[in-house]
Amino acid sequence: MMLKIDADFKNIIPPLSQEEFEQLEQNILSEKHCREAILIWNGYIVDGHNRYVICQKHDIPFEVEKLRFTSKHEALIWIAEHQLGRRNLSDAVRIELAAYRAKMLNLGGIVRKAVATMAGVSEQTVHRYMKVVASGDAGLINQLRKGEVKINTAYGKLAAETRVVRKINIEPDGEDELGVEYYGETIKGLSKVERFYREVDAAYGEVEWDWFRRSLERHFRRV
């Protein structure tokens, strides 16, 4: 059976690591059958992309289960919610999924609180992850998504960099009125921290989600 792939559906789902994919493949091969049905809507996979790839590759039979949604929008909300039920997700990925779902549900000004509730983390954790995303440090963000680094640890690292910047930017008669804004002329290697604070300061309020979404799109091209 040939099923269809929708990029929007597939890209919401956190990808498996190579080790996780290989373990799934070994499990299916050992049973010579795909234990879990592949969930579809209008012929498109909404859950089971990896199982489908493995079954197609090894010509292994699989079952499908049809889901009913009134629209693609409703299907996207369901996928995000369904993925949030997985146990092996990092806090960073849970926040991303919750943020996506909050946007699709059009929750407006209560975004951060809603995201925290859906992701099972504190509002402070959401706030700190958003600041790390705004920093533009793709390597650090990827480590967070993989669960290799804790959000508080990453946030502390950025906060420490900022303290160094402020210390260096002291004028003879006190700190510069604009704080960290001009330090990049002195230490160009830390310019990302300047951008990070200026973007964060401008982002909170009504446009908080749009800023977070754009940040994720820039670094991952996923959401």
Provide the pLDDT for residue 10.
94
What are the boundaries of each domain within the chain? 7-88, 108-220
Give residue-wise pLDDT tens across range 149-160: 999 999 888 777
CA distances from 28 to 1, 18, 61, 88, 170 (A): 17, 15, 10, 20, 62
Q: What is the CATH number of domain 7-88?
A: 3.90.1530
Provide the pLDDT for residue 86.
85
Helix H or strand E segment including 66: strand 64-66
Provide the pLDDT for residue 163.
55
Question: Among the ranges 30-44, 106-120, 166-180, 205-219, which has the highest mean pLDDT value?
Answer: 30-44
Please tell me whether residue 39 adopts helix, strand or coil conformation. strand
Contacts of residues 5-10 at CB distance under 8 Å and 24 or more positions apart, as own/partner, are: 5/44, 5/45, 5/49, 6/44, 6/45, 6/72, 8/72, 8/76, 9/44, 9/45, 9/46, 9/75, 9/76, 9/79, 10/45, 10/49
pTM across the whole model: 0.69
